Structure 1
Amino acid sequence: MTRATGIGSLPGTDYAEAVRMVLGLLPDLAHVPELPDRGVQASMTGRSLGVLADLDADLQPAGWRLTGSQGSPGADHRRARSLLAQDLDVVEELAQDYDGTFKVQVTGPWTLAATVEKPRGDRLLADRGARRELAQALAEGLRTHVADLRRRLPRSELWVQVDEPALPAVMTGRVPTASGFHRHRSVDAPEASPALEWVFEAISSAGAVPIVHCCDADVPVGLLVGAGAAGVSVDLGVLAPAAYDPLAELLEAGGPVLLGVVPSTAPEGTVSAERLTDQVMRFLDMLGLDPDAVGESLVVTPTCGLAGASVDWARQALRLSAEVAGNL
């Protein structure tokens, strides 16, 4: 059976209503909603910093920055941690009877390294030791985070979606330095793999399934699977042909592949479930795969997060995802 889910973010500020919408429209593979409209503490970076173990941060004019000392989180970091805990309380309350798969999202180590600053400025990406410390703190924090979710959702299989939108830019040296005049040096696959391995292993050992979301055209599927990812989430509309064969191998092996096909913001024209279904069928035909054979592994999603959409389109996008999955 092909299923549908969301990428994570939704518009609005009413968290309980967002959870109800997800549970109502995605009965087989719901996700913990993210509502960045509530402020920087609820953004993908702020939310993920709330998961870190033994590292504290504060908010500066240039963005999030590590404090350099444990036990000294800034007010915004404390707020991010508190907000995440409150959100999970709401999920636990409203999902008591839910027994499908549940997905939670966290920003990956390389996207965090390309986003968060060192205590004295510039991105963590510029410092090998800081990058290692961040990845290990994320891995350790995820063990606790997954254990907490398993306690709250005892009837559900858990997936942890590791968001790595910046990974291709990190690997090709496209991340700008703080000054904007230069670029951080590229990180090759052997150097990028260990940080991912620590995070994926922590998720797996805690009893959850690690999935990676990357909406860049050049998703390094082979690297991600080789590092321990059980599945990959991609935007089918921008996906480069180089990723087709690795995705086909992953589907044939039974690994989850989340295909982003529904627009993440309202399009100018009409979008029908039938046309989107045809798009997926053509993709599978191009890969030489039988839809019936890979249906269990295939998941239909919007192309990216829905934070930039209207509430009405977000609801429609999730409904379309579920309808396309039903058609398949």
Structure 2
Amino acid sequence: MQIVIIGGAGTIGSTVAYSLSIMDPELEIFLVDIDQDSAEGHALDLSYSSSHLCHPVGTSTPLVDSNVIKTLPLQSLHDLNPDLLIITASIPRPVNSSSKSSTKGWRLEFLKLNKPLITSIGTYLESMTPIPVIVVTNPLDRITYHLWKSSNWPRKFFVGYSLSEQARMAYYISQLKQVAPSDVYCPVLGEHGDHVVPIFSRAKVQNMPVEFSPQERQTLTEQVRDAAYEVIRLRGTEDSSRWVTGRGVSLLALALLSDDISSPMPLSVPLEGEYGFNDVCLIVPVLFSNRNVTKIVEWDLSKEEKIELQSAYNSVKSDCVL
């Protein structure tokens, strides 16, 4: 199978490529980036890395074949006909993006910077046969919307990666309840940003429903909402929460390609009436079949969760203007 990463020389794109190469040595991975030298450097280094799998340390017996990892000009996508596109392309992050007091401002500035880039990619895709697309570029919900609209592809081909929130929630609940993260389930809907909506009404610990006090809910929500900003504050705006995103995107990509998704997965997708919202992308539970979104699942939400989801819609909708 062939996966193309547009923005493959960037922090997130190269991390996704590395994670994919570790998880599935049989993949062919193609890096597309305006910085062709950097993309070529990553492709070479990733290829060297894959050789470790072919010849494990301490043995002369080959274990598996290594990945094919190459660079690719964007205009050659037509000739390749890949199985999946992953979009991580982005203008450098605004310098004030680690400040939680100005998150709305920097996200709007980020949208202003990234929208022309993404719409140009979408316009190019318009001439191609539609294939599944995972969007990672921020601000995620808004960028997923603009890529979808500019491509004129059916909405079923687009998902915005938004599983980091659920992974972070599992981590923080596991800390609170003193259990393993693998024992925790709590989906997070809404906006990939300030208006995250944890669905505590569906939360489980060790496969049993779990209750949280109002203060615990507030603390958990703030921890998940602010987690990325804390990583950026500690590591700098030139970096990001690359590890949780890189692994999460890779897991999503492989699950999508193998059709190994049996439960609803919270992802940012275009809405056309679901949950009462139209012409916007929000994180909602979706089901897949044949590598496409086949159903948006409308859960019964608590009154508070409905109000919070409406707030997320209000935040994103104002920026979904073509």
When the two structures are superposed, what TM-score results if normalisation uses the length of structure 1? 0.31
Greater relative contact order (CA < 8 Å, ≥ 6 in sequence): 1
Higher strand share: 2
